[in-house]
Chains A and B, each alone.
Chain A
Amino acid sequence: MEILKINNLKKSYIDSEGELTILNGITFEVSKGTMVAITGESGSGKSTLLHLLSLLDKADSGEILYNGKKITGSDKLISKFRNKSIGFIFQFHYLLEDFTAIENVAMPMFLATGNMKTSLLEAEKLLKRLDLINRKHHYPNQLSGGEQQRIAIARALINKPDIVFADEPTGNLDKKHSDEIFNLLRELNREIGQTFIIVTHDEEIASQLDIHYFLENGLLQLHSAE
């Protein structure tokens, strides 16, 4: 069963120079538990695609089906679905600076349940799993880049989403930390069976994942390993 099915997705932006078509009919499927890599040149529309898939933005036309179902309704309903079923890791950690590491991790669950106590307990488990427990009371600016991104990963996972999107999650990290993060995502994928869709510019990493797509001219193609 495909967790995610995309049909002819289109998106263009209108700016001063006229209409700019970014995505011109994206069609693909993702089966549950796979790790998908998407690469492409800068500006090719990778982020745009990820935002559409994760329901942060709306497509001009086309279909996005989660487990065969279209997610429609008010912003609030969509927001609820996203909070529960989708995890997102950004290129920048985007942690809340006023809150400690553990509070940041707990936030999505807290927003969903309103229960800080259980959210913090759950966050604590995740921090242990990610070897960050001794950092739990640190504020983001007291953490290293790798630690910040791992906290952001923990935050993406706290609501046990079925699918996690990551937009160049290691774009700002050196090779060593970058490998660490990918190994971690790999382990999580094996342990919990979560589906990952990862945008990266690291060809080596992309080639190690289950499926590798390439975005070019608004279309998504399987990467041929020449």
Chain B
Amino acid sequence: MNKIEFFFFKNYLFSEKKEWLRFDSLFSIIGVILSVATLTIAHSIFGGYETALKDSILGANSHIYIFQPGAANLNQEQVNDLIQDFGGKKEVEAIAPVIQIPAMAVNEGRIKGALIKGINWKAEAQPTKYRQYIRQGTWEMPDNKDVVMGKKLADELNLTIGDLVKIVSPLHSKFTPLGYKSKSKKFKIVGLYESGMYEYDSKFVFMNMQSARGFSPVSSEYSLIEIKLKSEFINKADYLAYKWEMLNDGFYQISSWIEFNGNLFMTLSFQKWILFIIISFLILLASFNIVSAVSTSIIEKKKEIGILKAFGASSFLLSKIFVGKTMILSSIGVLLGQLIGYIIAYFLSVQNFFLLKGDVYFLEKINVKFSFQDFTIIFIISILMIFVASLVPLKRVSSLQITDILRGM
């Protein structure tokens, strides 16, 4: 920065008069702070939602699923073959078969729909974040009576660790002389599972393979095979699924998380940026205040402009001084707005008072994403808009004639 402008900026900020403390300049800066804070809150919460949703979906599920076409199950032999086949692939981090059976969980007359997930809990390499999502209790289910239950499901049934829960499978029901009888068994809750996804936390009931098989019509069969990819391949899951399905001549149906949820994330990301653009209009509005504050300041400083011009200051220098003053104050306003926005967003994310509706928005908790990239984008866009706005009134500076000013207009 040239020394001359710097001298004027220093005087502007630190002289006894504190020109920037005046109502109209403070007013326009408060507008900037509020609009930037709003944008920051909206963007960081939307981004947080997007990230948390993706984390939960990709954490509670694996990335690639292998099915037998036509809703049939995989038998032990097929499973062994597939694990042999895929386990060694460089993209694969973990692979395991799963049994999934729709069921109901019952406690004292309360009945909730549930999904039995028979898993191989012992395996070190799990295809999902099953172990990380245990909020209370243990992930170990050595006993055939042990279950790990979704926390929401347990809450809704008024159950907690150590309680007994009855699991009923209507799939495997039969008529007996005593009437219609479903397969039903009592389990002990050894752990509570919480992924953050309402849909999962209110449905999943994990048990060991053997127990799950008790609900299955055919023993030694599996519903599907789950594959967890190494992180660098997660976004190529659809391509890999397609490739592997082709390699197996379509004998198995291989799908990826992108097929199931890819559109959701594209929509979310699109919505996030639409929202960003809409809220940016608030900053545009705040910029109008800046235009008027700069105009006022130019009119008020007309005499000074004339004097400085008479003593050798160019219009360009004077314009730089006006824009510079605006930008110094506005940058502080933008940064302050971002800071306030992040603080408010942070508080929204740690409180439990305002929650989202889990059945509508999947997640209940408000999540916040702080990213340096978003911070920079918001800063640059705000500053750019304000900069352009501050240029609007500058024509007055160059059109001011010294002699008009000296004559007192």
Residues of A participating in the B interface, judged by any CB pair closer than 8 Å: 47, 51, 56-57, 75-76, 79-80, 82-83, 88, 90, 94-99, 103, 107-108, 110-112, 114-116, 139, 155
Contacts and interface: CB of A to CB of B under 8 A. Distances in A.
B361 to A, nearest CB: 54
A116 B6 CA distance: 11
Contacts of A76: 314
Interface of B is mostly: helix
13 contacts: A57-B401, A94-B303, A94-B306, A94-B307, A96-B304, A96-B307, A98-B19, A99-B11, A108-B312, A110-B7, A111-B4, A111-B313, A114-B3
A110 B4 contact: yes
A90 B306 CA distance: 12
B320 to A, nearest CB: 13
Contacts, number: 66
Contact of A116 (B3, B403, B407): B3
Given A51-B403, A51-B406, A116-B7, A96 B2 contact: no
A177 B238 CA distance: 91
Interface of B: 2-4, 7, 11-12, 15-17, 19, 303-304, 306-314, 317, 401-403, 406-407
Contacts of A103: 11
A112 B308 CA distance: 12
Contacts of A83: 311-312
Given A98-B15, A98-B17, A99-B11, A111 B403 contact: no
Contacts of B309: 79
B47 to A, nearest CB: 44
Contacts of B407: 47
Nearest to B19: A98
Contacts of B12: 98
Contacts of B307: 94-96
Contacts of A155: 311
User: What are the 10 closest A-B residue pairs judged by CB atoms, nearest first?
Assistant: A83-B312, A108-B311, A111-B312, A57-B403, A94-B307, A56-B402, A51-B403, A114-B3, A111-B313, A114-B4
A107 B314 CA distance: 13
Contacts of A80: 312
Nearest to B6: A116
A98 B11 contact: yes
Contacts of A111: 4, 308, 311-313, 317
Contacts of A94: 303, 306-307, 310, 406
B4 A88 contact: no
Nearest to A119: B7
Contacts of A96: 304, 307-308
Contacts of A139: 16
Contacts of B403: 51, 56-57
Contacts of A95: 307
